[in-house]
Amino acid sequence: MTRIIYIQHDGREDPVDLPVGYTLMQGAVLNDIPGIAAECGGAAACGTCRVQLAPDWVTHVPAAEEIELSILDDADTSWRLSCQITVMAEMDGMVVHLPENQT
């Protein structure tokens, strides 16, 4: 299991242990962590599962592919679609921040 720490916009922390191979979006939805709408269910079609990786962790995550970049508005590479990030063992302890809303 890999520990991922989701931090809500209001500062609340939700640490969860996820099996390798899950996406950060699935990890949040399956554990009832609010702040991720994931309206398209992981198709990189809606942009409602945005998260911001904590600065130390940005380089631990493979860079976004073209379809993800087409949905992301931000030039800041710490903002990602959580449905496009698959949990790997080396992400243990990773901190991701959730935005105030997904619209």
Partner 1 sequence: MAMSAAEKTELAPIPGHVPLERVYDFDYIYDARLLENPHERMKSLHKEAPPLFYSPRYGGHWVVTGKEELRQVACDPELFTSVTRGIPAMAEQPVLIPLTFDPPRHTQYRAPLNAKFTAKGVAPLEGAVRAMAAGLIDAVAAQGYCEFMNDVAEPLPPTLFFNIAGMPTDRLKEFRQLAEDATAAPDPCVRMTSIKKIAAILKETVDARMAEPRDDLISEMVTKDFGGQRLTPDEILNYAVLLFLGGLETVVNALCFTARYLALHPALQAELRADPTRIPLVMEEMLRLHGIAMAVRRATRDTELDGVAIQKDDMFMLMVPAVNYDPVAFENAESMCPGRKEALATFNMGPHRCIGANLARLEMRVFFEEWLKRIPEFRLDQARPPKFFGGLNLAVRSLNLVWG
Whole-number minimum distance, CB 70 to partner 1, in Å? Answer: 4
- Which residue in 7, 28, 44, 85 binds partner 1 (CB under 8 A)? 44
70 lies in the binding site for partner 1 (CB under 8 A): yes
Applying the rule CB under 8 A, the residues between 50 and 69 that interact with partner 1 are 66-67
In the set 2, 26, 48, 82, which binds partner 1 (CB under 8 A)? 48
Alpha carbons 37 and 35: distance in angstroms, whole number: 6
Q: How far is the CB of 87 from partner 1 (least distance, A)?
A: 20
Residue 31 vs 88, nearer CB to partner 1: 31
Which residues, in sequence order, are bridge partners of residue 95? 5
Show contacts of 41-48: CB within 8 Å, 24+ apart.
41/83, 42/83, 43/83, 44/68, 44/70, 44/71, 44/81, 44/83, 44/84, 45/71, 46/71, 47/71, 47/72, 47/73, 47/81, 47/102, 48/102, 48/103
CB of 54 or CB of 72, closer to partner 1? 72
Residues of this chain that interact with partner 1 (CB under 8 A) are 34, 37, 39-48, 66-67, 70-73, 102-103
